[in-house]
Amino acid sequence: MVGRAAADGERASVRTLVFNHLAGIVLAPTVKALWDRKVFDLFNSPSLWTEFDEIVEHTHGNRGYLRVALRLLVSYGWLQERREGDVSRPAYSLTREGVVAATAAPPLYEEVVDFAPKAIFLEDFLYGSSDEPVLPSLRGLVDRAKSRWGLGSNEEAVTAKVYEQIRQHLDGMLVGPAMVALARGGILAQLERAPVPFSAFAVNQGTLACFFDLLATQGWIAVEQNRVALTPCGQYAAQIATSYGVTVSYLPMFNVLSTLLFGNPRTPRLDESGVELLVNRGMNVWGSGGAHQTYFKKVDEIVSEIFNRPLNQQPQGICDMGCGDGSFLEHLYFTVKDHTARGGALDQHPLVIVGPDSNKVASRVATQHLRKAGIPNFHVIGGDINRPAQLASDLEELGLDVHDLLHVRSFLDHNRPYLPLANYVKGTRVGRSTGAFAHFGEEIPADELEENLLRHLRRWAPYVGRFGLLVLELHTLPPEVTAANLERTPAVAYDGTHGFSDQYLVELPIFLDCAREAGLRADPQHQCKFPPSELATVSINYFTAGT
């Protein structure tokens, strides 16, 4: 059994489990923070509706982040939302599932949330000099997971369903960091190849034993004659282990969630040297990179088509705003070099590579990365996604024309710094997004966020008309769609990590409508969404200027 591949049904069950683990990393600290502030005391029965303004007044919470928190519970099916008249003043009520969850979940969530400050450093404890600071509490929680957290199983249908959700959330707070640590250290890769004697791993054995016991509760690990092996489901879980990376990377933020919700919403995001405090950026990039491999095939098709055109109809090069560590630019350079007609003519027609980024650390890493990869004609410069005119000026100083480049962006537009609207008349547009948006705790109404997105894209339209703008973007889903498809989408996790960190996910149709209104036309031949259904949370669009 251990040696065979997972069947389709088993793979689907693993994905469902992973989605619930990720939801738990987001929901456990959120529910605990709301419980500590006695928010659930306002919901005495499923039939009682509580106005949002009443919740704000009762908790003295920061409106923007409080809206994010409540929307998460709507998306998970534990709250329902009612909007009548003024859509900025909704009301909420517990569902039947929410009544069960509000009673059973908070005390249990408290156990794993209290462990979160140590979970942030599980990777360090596993591979470091000592695991003593974490081992006793980790062992206790793994034992709780083995006993199914003390939640009964002989319950009526709704209670049984919620109990299982809660168990998976609790497991997720442990499994997520454990899978990331095992994957980033190469242990899962070893196990994917063959069973390995337990003693062969040169790590802290106590923590490793806890990890393996934990994964055994998920049905992913089997120990046979002191040899550790992945089950068929475990093999698949190991293959998709990077799925945990992005959500787990935000554990530092969830560790201060109560402060964001009910204290100082401007808690520092950076230390004095510019290192991010609320997200583990290295882990985030690792997790993103694993997921992005899925999308690169479609990106490669688009880039190859562009650079297989007649040479006089090709861009001079590629500009990746927010280039990060330069990995995407490296990938695109070698796609052109190895798979297009332009690649055979680089001596006569060199490919210019431009990597603007606002983060000085990222710029330094990208420079080293591109140099090590042997990529010629590259320029890593400062850049602000909100200031394309400044990019044009900076490129002009380098002797380059912003219009001569193919512009690409990888999951950056939703992460643009928010610019408050100037000269916007309230009511000019009707907000359609169901998203919850915040800027340092202040609520951003949907109409203003959509106007902000429109203006953002409109600023870029004049600069991408010649060779276009290739955008990979992340999206939210309407809460009712997410709640009906929890086993098929990680949207709850996306909404939590991005909503509390001032990132702005809108639904795909709204993103496309704003682009169209901004004068950007999406080439239907090169459009793609993942998954290819109403559950699409990722899109690829190649925009050109036009109507």
Instruction: Choose among 19, 12, 20: nearest CA to 170.
Output: 20
SS (H, E, C) 204-231: CHHHHHHHHHHHHHCCCEEEECCEEEEC
- DSSP character string of 351-363: -EEEEEES-HHHH
Helices (H), 318-445: 327-339, 360-372, 388-397
- Closest residue by Cα to residue 126 from 174, 168, 167: 174
Return the pLDDT at 84: 75
pLDDT given for residue 226 in this prediction: 84
The DSSP secondary structure of 47-83, one letter per residue, reads T--EEHHHHHHHHT--HHHHHHHHHHHHHTTSEEEE-
| Helix, strand, coil percentages in the chain from 3-state DSSP, rounded to 5 | 55, 15, 35
pLDDT digits (tens, 9 = 90+) for 477-518: 999 999 999 999 999 999 999 999 999 999 999 999 999 999
Confirm if 130 and 204 have CB atoms less than 8 A apart. Answer: yes
Residue with the larger pLDDT of the pair 153 and 135: 135
Q: pLDDT tens for residues 378-396?
A: 999 999 999 999 999 999 9
> Are 67 and 500 in contact, with CB atoms under 8 Å apart?
no
pTM as predicted: 0.95
pLDDT over 90 at 44, yes or no: no
Domain with residues 293-410, CATH architecture: 3-Layer(aba) Sandwich (3.40)
362 has a pLDDT exceeding 90: no
C-alpha span between 42 and 29 (Å, rounded): 19
Distance CA 242, CA 345 (A): 37
Share of the chain above pLDDT 70, in %: 98
| CA–CA distance, 37 with 60 (Å, rounded to integer) | 9
Top-confidence residue, 545 or 256? 256
Is the pLDDT at 291 greater than 80? The verdict is no
Joined together, the tokens standing for residue 213 give 């016991």
Are the C-beta atoms of residues 344 and 311 closer than 8 Å to each other? Answer: no
Structure tokens at 104: 């059973």
Q: What is the mean pLDDT of residues 295-303?
A: 93
Q: Is the pLDDT of residue 2 over 60?
A: no
Please report, to the nearest 10 degrees, the dihedral formed by the alpha carbons of residues 212, 218, 220, 222 taken in order: 60
Domain ranges across the chain: 8-15+106-255, 293-410
Does residue 45 register a pLDDT over 70?
no
Residues with Cβ within 8 Å of residue 161, at least 6 apart in sequence = 97
Which structure tokens are listed for 410?
Answer: 């990888």
Average pLDDT over residues 132-145: 96
Evaluate if residue 288 carries a pLDDT over 90: no
* CA-wise closest residue to 323 among 297, 300, 354: 354
d(CA 206, CA 126): 9
Contacts of 514 (CB under 8 A, 6+ apart): 450, 453, 454, 457, 506
Tell whether the model's pLDDT for residue 224 goes beyond 90: no
d(CA 353, CA 318): 5
The predicted pLDDT at position 322 comes to: 94
pLDDT for res 293: 75
At residue 106, the pLDDT reads 97
Between 404 and 87, residue with greater pLDDT: 404
Average per-residue pLDDT for the chain: 94
Q: What average pLDDT does range 438-462 have in this prediction?
A: 97
> What angle do helix axes 63-75 and 52-59 make, rounded to 10 degrees?
120
Spatial distance between the Cα atoms of 392 and 398, rounded to a whole number of angstroms: 10
Average pLDDT (136-154) is: 94
pLDDT for the residue 281 = 87
Q: 3-class SS at 305?
A: helix
pLDDT (0 to 100) of residue 460: 97
Position 547 pLDDT exceeds 60: no
Give the closest residue to 97 by CA, choosing from 190, 161, 183: 161
- Indicate if the pLDDT at residue 456 is higher than 70: yes
Which stretch of DSSP H or E encloses residue 31?
Answer: helix 8-36
Tell whether omega for the bond before 232 is within 30 degrees of 0, i.e. cis: no
Name the token pair of 105: 């979940």
Residues 374, 315, 467, CA angle at the centre, nearest 5°?
A: 130
| Mean pLDDT in residue range 186-203 | 95
Band of pLDDT at residue 416, cut at 50, 70 and 90: very high
Give yes or no for residue 85 having a pLDDT over 70. Answer: no
Confidence bin at 3 (pLDDT 50/70/90): low
Non-local (6+) Cβ contacts of 78 within 8 A are 94, 95, 97, 98, 101, 102
Which DSSP letter does residue 270 get?
B
- Measured distance CA(98)–CA(44) in Å, rounded: 11
